[in-house]
Structure 1
Amino acid sequence: MTTKTSTEFVEQVDITLQPVAVEAANGASRRENKLRTKIDLFVVPTVALLYLMCFIDRANIGNARLAGFEKDLKLEGYDYNIVLSIFYISYILFEIPATICCKLIGPGWFLPATTLGFGIVSIATAFVRTRAQACAVRFLLGVFEAGLMPGIAYYLSRWYRRSELAFRLGLYMTMAPLSGAFGGLLASGILKLSHFGGLHRWEMIFAVEGIITVGIAIIAFGTLTDRPDTARWLSEAEKELAVDRVKSERLAQAVLLDKIDGTKLRRGFTNPITIATSCIFMLNNITVLSISFFLPSIIKTIYPGRSTVQMQLLTVPPYIVGAFFVLLIPTLSWKFDHRQLFLAVTGPTAIAGFVILLATINANVRYGAIFLTASTAFTLGAMCNAQVSANVLSDSARSIAIGTNVMFGNLGGLIATWTYLPTDVPMYRIGNSLNLTCAVLWTTVAILAYFWMKSDNRKREVVHAEAHENLEHLSREEIQDLEWKHPDWRWKI
């Protein structure tokens, strides 16, 4: 009879336990996958519908312009651009306050309420008769829409891991290009009506789409759940798992949802990647919102002989292509758990599209170039918010970082309202040149930020031990407030 050594016994026990450990890991993975799918089904569809109507109510003024809005209000010269700009002035002013309100009130109440507000304003737009009235309702539209995009991104960050967030942001932000397609189809359908009550032509567009928005907002009051631990559709075990899996990625944070903290807000606002990504989003938004506001007008210069309904329908296919890429690139980002270089690869197709628009007068080639400009450019709404969210720690820092990103984006929106001017038709050389420059710049900034993140991570590894010694003199709260200055922090590329 042979006696096993202690080493042999440990090895045998280890071999015996391996299948058990693997099975336990697989079971945990299956539970998390099941939970994630459940969250996808209960959370994403509602916020996607809210964002769809947000973008439609913002951009339908372009469809209304083709249907006589500009003529009936006697807008001349740059009046139309002024009306567009007013929206972004209020949007920018109320961006950060609205984002903080979203955290204080809770996104489950804030998002439906602000949607109800801009739905009512959209209906009111059907009754404007002067430029002053149009400016007033567009200002109010900006007030109510300011908090929706950052609010949804912040809301989703309460539910998903860092690697999962870009794809879920992509799911709801697919609504941006789809709103162009759906808005064009809806506008062309509405314009086939002889009247809607006492309203006609462009008035019907604002009224019908506003009523749809109000209806969706009312439904959202009953369907949106504020956070995982209050979700009636989750079991207690699922609530605990939902909180723990997000909390596990937040270095040195004691709770998932902290109270408003001035230091954390400042850390989120001054985070280098928040600033760099916000600049990328600003440059990108100049392009995206130029397309959204002026695509009907651009197509009118390409195919001047087409009817109003035909021109509305020609706006649809480029947005369908854009929606495809809004899903594709965040899906790849989720698969590889990588974001920064995906920010850079969105630029070349937009660059190619604007080069073609500047280089040729061939109508069909110019229309084809619009597909290039509208393809990958739309993806940065999801990717920039995902990258900002991935590179902050606390809930407070995340709310202000996403709000900052969207605020910068809407500075780009304000610039976009002046890209395609009536004096620049039919080639729009100024607008196309500006958008070409923006695409080159956002690609460059994304690449430079990528190399800086890798370099700074290497530096942090070198001074890691020395930096840790400095933590001994800090309280627990002070350590939590360090955010990206914590020695264990590494940039998520």
Structure 2
Amino acid sequence: MVDSKDTPEKTSLHQSDETPVQNSPYIADLKQDGLVADAEASSLGSPTFQGVDEKAVLRKMDIRLIPMLSLLYLLAFLDRGNIGNAKIEGLVDDLHMTGPQYNWTLTVFFFTYCVFELPSNLLLKKLRPSRWLPLIMIAWGIVMTLMGVVNDYGGLLATRLFLGVAEAGLYPGVAYYITLWYPRHRAQFRQALFFSAASIAGAFSGLLAYAIAKMDGVGGYAGWRWIFILEGLLTVVVALVAPFAIHDSPETATFLTEEERRFVIHSLRIQNSADSREIDQTNDKFEMRYVLDAFADWQIWLGLFMYWGITCPLYGISLFLPSIIKDLGYKSSTAQLLTVPIYITAAIVAVIAAWVSDRRKQRSPFILFFMAMIGIGFIICLASTGRGVPGVMYFGIFVAVVGIYPAFPGNVTWLSVNMAGDYKRAAGMAIYIGLGNLAGAMSSNFYRAQDAPNYILGHSLELAFVVVGMIATVVLRIIYQRINRKRDAMDPSEYPENPDSLGDRSPLFRYML
């Protein structure tokens, strides 16, 4: 953790401080994107930073930021999804719950999770991430531990509600936090590294639940109770260490030199501009209009359909995968272990796909490709239903999951880099992810106990959401293209006063495709 007394003064950039050159890596990006011509590059006034190696700076940030962020999300996803592992170890029977009651405990989590994401993201912007993120970790770790000692349906329902409150700030907070460090052409790879922790959590959850379930009877507690208790305690322990490993912003990063800090800040300010002019990305003082701007932003509401097309399958699979596999005829211990190869493969594919997407500087083609994989996976599941071929059903689930985990960071990154202004982006991402996660409330009711083992209704609904999401993705790209072309055709004399302060509404801003 960086104490204020050790914090360097916030870096201020002025183009007159440096000498413009043609070989700046970000000028190269602009030329490659076709935003500026070679002859124009030398006159853009983009500063060079003597002795700064871009790759070395990125490695520094990756090493200092990504491992801890990934660990935080691994624990969050582990703690929200381990109820699926606990179910097949006897949770429902011990608490005398019905199938609909179990589904309702899954659903209520997303109500509070959605409501508290926006205020949490605004607090993250206002407070220091090195304090806020560990604080909410301690809160959900305590709630998770208490979940292991509930005695009835009401107790489980209450703990799931409070788990949603505590976990609400993590994913949108970290997704926004990454945009404060990495330019948009570098962001998805880091989002994927961070989000792949979710797929690792899926694999780790199965292995951990398999091992912890062996503690059945220890201390008079059933094995499923120990799953909650031990995983909750692990979260609290990591939260106590987290403040020392989370850095608040590039301006205060002591692991970067003064010149490197200036380089990172400058690269973030020119990343969306058509002519390498700095676009104002910061709102130092909170105003309600930034939140209202986010609520009125058309791209968030259209993008929600894309988000639901990915998150409905994501939560449907993560919450019910052990049960789906068990209902194919495998015993619970085998079902836990069979989830592992699915999630490991998904994590590897997600990272590779994000790296290629960053190199190609394209988002929508990759999102569409992997959403198509999700759809194909569910089609395989539906086609193999009732045919006595559990291996084919397992393969269909495998294909769907391998599509889900690369598509998700792509869609979040795409929307986040197309919003400018810190408070607007913080609010916009919270709204987008918060409302998007209502998909979890929907999909937690797709797989009903009475539909086992075929789950035709669940697979069909997931497929429908994927198709709608793919249509939304295509429409979103078409609109972005039209706006970019319109802005390209504008004469500079038509620009409003101070266009660089208008964020993504500026005629200088170009949407990433």
Q: Secondary structure of 1:302's partner?
A: coil
Q: Structure 1's 189 and 145: CA in aligned 2 closer, same or farther, altered over 3 A?
A: same
User: Which residue number in structure 1 is paired with residue 511 of structure 2?
Assistant: 491
Q: Could you tell me the TM-score, scaled by structure 2's length?
A: 0.86
Contact kept, 8 Å, 1:184 with 1:316, in 2: the verdict is: yes
Tell me how far apart the structure 1 counterparts of residues 493 and 269 of structure 2 sit (CA, whole Å).
Answer: 27
Selected match of 1:431 from 450, 458, 461: 458
Please state how far the C-alpha of 1:22 moved relative to its aligned partner: 5.8
Q: Secondary structure of 1:375's partner?
A: helix
User: Which residue number in structure 2 is paired with residue 266 of structure 1?
Assistant: 292
Task: Return the letter of the residue paired with 2:164.
Answer: G
Task: Return the letter of the residue paired with 1:312.
Answer: Q
Selected match of 2:184 from 139, 142, 162: 162
Contact kept, 8 Å, 2:49 with 2:259, in 1: the verdict is: no
Q: Structure 1's 21 and 93: CA in aligned 2 closer, same or farther, altered over 3 A?
A: closer
Q: Could you tell me the TM-score, scaled by structure 1's length?
A: 0.90
Please state how far the C-alpha of 1:82 moved relative to its aligned partner: 0.7
Contact kept, 8 Å, 1:190 with 1:204, in 2: the verdict is: yes
Please state how far the C-alpha of 1:450 moved relative to its aligned partner: 1.4
The question of 1:341 aligning with 2:372 is answered: no
Please state how far the C-alpha of 1:134 moved relative to its aligned partner: 0.4
User: Which residue number in structure 2 is paired with residue 456 of structure 1?
Assistant: 483
Tell me how far apart the structure 2 counterparts of residues 27 and 489 of structure 1 sit (CA, whole Å).
Answer: 24
Unmatched 5+ residue regions in structure 2?
A: 1-20, 29-47
The question of 1:332 aligning with 2:352 is answered: no
User: Where is the helix percentage greater, Structure 1 or Structure 2?
Assistant: 1
The C-alpha deviation readout for 1:190-233, integer Å capped at 9, x for no partner, is 11234554433100000111111111111111110111122222
The question of 1:294 aligning with 2:320 is answered: yes
Q: Secondary structure of 1:374's partner?
A: helix
User: Which residue number in structure 2 is paired with residue 114 of structure 1?
Assistant: 136
User: Which residue number in structure 2 is paired with residue 11 of structure 1?
Assistant: none
Contact kept, 8 Å, 1:250 with 1:394, in 2: the verdict is: no
Q: Secondary structure of 2:141's partner?
A: helix
Please state how far the C-alpha of 1:272 moved relative to its aligned partner: 2.9
Q: Structure 1's 355 and 465: CA in aligned 2 closer, same or farther, altered over 3 A?
A: same
Contact kept, 8 Å, 2:281 with 2:420, in 1: the verdict is: no
Contact kept, 8 Å, 1:464 with 1:488, in 2: the verdict is: no
Contact kept, 8 Å, 1:274 with 1:401, in 2: the verdict is: yes
Tell me how far apart the structure 2 counterparts of residues 408 and 279 of structure 1 sit (CA, whole Å).
Answer: 10
Selected match of 1:130 from 119, 144, 152: 152
Contact kept, 8 Å, 1:290 with 1:417, in 2: the verdict is: yes
Number of aligned residue pairs: give it: 465
Tell me how far apart the structure 2 counterparts of residues 400 and 141 of structure 1 sit (CA, whole Å).
Answer: 21
Please state how far the C-alpha of 1:98 moved relative to its aligned partner: 1.3
Q: Secondary structure of 1:144's partner?
A: helix
Contact kept, 8 Å, 1:263 with 1:481, in 2: the verdict is: no
Q: Indicate the structure (1 or 2) with the bigger Cα radius of gyration.
A: 1
Please state how far the C-alpha of 1:244 moved relative to its aligned partner: 2.1
Q: Structure 1's 269 and 331: CA in aligned 2 closer, same or farther, altered over 3 A?
A: farther
Q: Structure 1's 240 and 128: CA in aligned 2 closer, same or farther, altered over 3 A?
A: same
Q: Secondary structure of 2:362's partner?
A: coil
Tell me how far apart the structure 2 counterparts of residues 177 and 93 of structure 1 sit (CA, whole Å).
Answer: 25
Contact kept, 8 Å, 1:85 with 1:417, in 2: the verdict is: yes
Q: Structure 1's 131 and 23: CA in aligned 2 closer, same or farther, altered over 3 A?
A: closer
Tell me how far apart the structure 1 counterparts of residues 87 and 492 of structure 2 sit (CA, whole Å).
Answer: 62
Pairing 1:69-80 to 2, within 5 Å after superposition: 69-80=91-102
Regions of 4+ moved over 6 Å:
23-27
Task: Return the letter of the residue paired with 1:169.
Answer: Q
The question of 1:208 aligning with 2:234 is answered: no
Q: Structure 1's 489 and 253: CA in aligned 2 closer, same or farther, altered over 3 A?
A: closer
Tell me how far apart the structure 1 counterparts of residues 135 and 476 of structure 2 sit (CA, whole Å).
Answer: 37
Tell me how far apart the structure 1 counterparts of residues 491 and 289 of structure 2 sit (CA, whole Å).
Answer: 23
Selected match of 1:60 from 82, 87, 91: 82
The C-alpha deviation readout for 1:367-400, integer Å capped at 9, x for no partner, is 1111111011122331122111211111111111
User: Which residue number in structure 2 is paired with residue 10 of structure 1?
Assistant: none
The C-alpha deviation readout for 1:64-88, integer Å capped at 9, x for no partner, is 0011001111001301011111101
User: Which residue number in structure 1 is paired with residue 467 of structure 2?
Assistant: 440
Task: Return the letter of the residue paired with 2:193.
Answer: L
Deviates more, 1:178-187 or 1:459-468: 459-468
User: Which residue number in structure 1 is paired with residue 12 of structure 2?
Assistant: none
User: How large is the RMSD of aligned CA atoms in angstroms?
Assistant: 2.1
Tell me how far apart the structure 2 counterparts of residues 256 and 484 of structure 1 sit (CA, whole Å).
Answer: 12
Contact kept, 8 Å, 2:371 with 2:470, in 1: the verdict is: yes
Contact kept, 8 Å, 1:293 with 1:417, in 2: the verdict is: yes
